[in-house]
A and B are shown apart, each in its own frame.
Chain A
């Protein structure tokens, strides 16, 4: 039966994250973007909220909650409302936790998961994207080839968050049986972590290029099982993050438009501005509902990992594409509503536009 209301527990989680986002993350966002640094005290405080590690089974020291894509979407939206770069930093460990939870065997889980229940922030990450035109997660250029008992990884990756400090690195590559994920220790010969990347937005997030040159792994490094459900979780996460960024821009532009006066009235009293805001409000809700539906479908277990296009893939892809377009339009409108002031870095809207532009590019950069 149709219901648009999250459970009380989910609302409580959302409120908690929203409070943290508003009080702790948002005030740090501007400086983090300017300096490229996220205060470690903030990261530690967020870690103590437990959002990253909550889904780790009790056996490995976690809280053992069922990983809900919907709850994850709520968390993503609130964090991204405060700041996308910081959000992605805080969520990075999930890039390795969730796949290991979903696909890892006992040995792999024991090897990886306990690190993320330690009292201090532990970085983990995954390398999905590749620096080339037409990047397609279904047809990776990075290869995994068998060499006797071992696996050799070759290729280049980009946008790998926190790679330089990650305890575990999950590398996605094309194997004989399709796309697969491999746990790669950071000191594996042949793995070179490049310089920190310089991007248009998300400047506070440390991302890296990787080169893999005959990077040799034991067969046990491979996570077995289909990745499409994980990709869908990633698409839901990205959609929810996009909604958060857009909502931030909308809130700010709305408040500004009520304050700013031109030609004798608040600019919000001009239809040209008011209608932009109304449209932004509709599109944000539209994208959020599409995201929620995809998340709900994943949680309802309708996401069957059997085929490439199955279960929630359609919903997740539609939501992701929709949200990526939406966030660009909304953040651009926000800059426009602030006029010249929107172009100046004292106001955050230009940062949100720079961040928002990335969503069409991002793939596998977050996980719920």
Chain B
């Protein structure tokens, strides 16, 4: 019997199983968009067929990083900006796990920007949720990489001179093979997108618009949102990089003009995941590495066999 006995266990899964006995109200402010992510994730999991214990949720630091406290799965609340490197190695060590990483826009696009770029490039089979509230929440309202140009805060009293980064476009150029944007105020779409993201075999980047009523009062609550797949105004092929790129550009500009375009922006089903690539080059075992330590029949080779070259 496998030591990871929760993996692949077939049974009815109830969304309540993902609720630990701990109250998010303890840290999240009333009306915070983070509640929406938590809810959508809990709803998505049973649909994906994943139970709490075969899932690993790795989060960064920030209000968003607390997601792993309020979501009952295996969790890893890491350090600011570093959720992705922790998550992708866990996935490599045990590809049978459902690995989800999450963090804020400061966390993912600021301090962890380098990791975002490289994790997307490698196309690890995992889901990355970025709580995009255009602000640093936990540290009390500083300007973030997605704050609009001119945004005033205690650390940018004269208004930010920087243009916001373009998260969707960045995901695309970096190599993410599934890119979507959803909003906490749109629970049905959010759930559907998370289901797709988790089922996607590759790096799925979900830019999740979450309002921060405490520090980002002027910012819209991301309503009215437009679902680009439901609207006749936006006709593009989500499998085509160029068309996707254009659509992303439009959506990124529109956001700061009060038009919230959400939906799927890019899907590449053909690109092999990093695990597949690495296995193809012989750099990664077919069997999960982590299993091997519990396999009594596995013959551990030792360095002694390498000594010939030193004689």
Is this pair of chains taken from one and the same complex? Answer: no
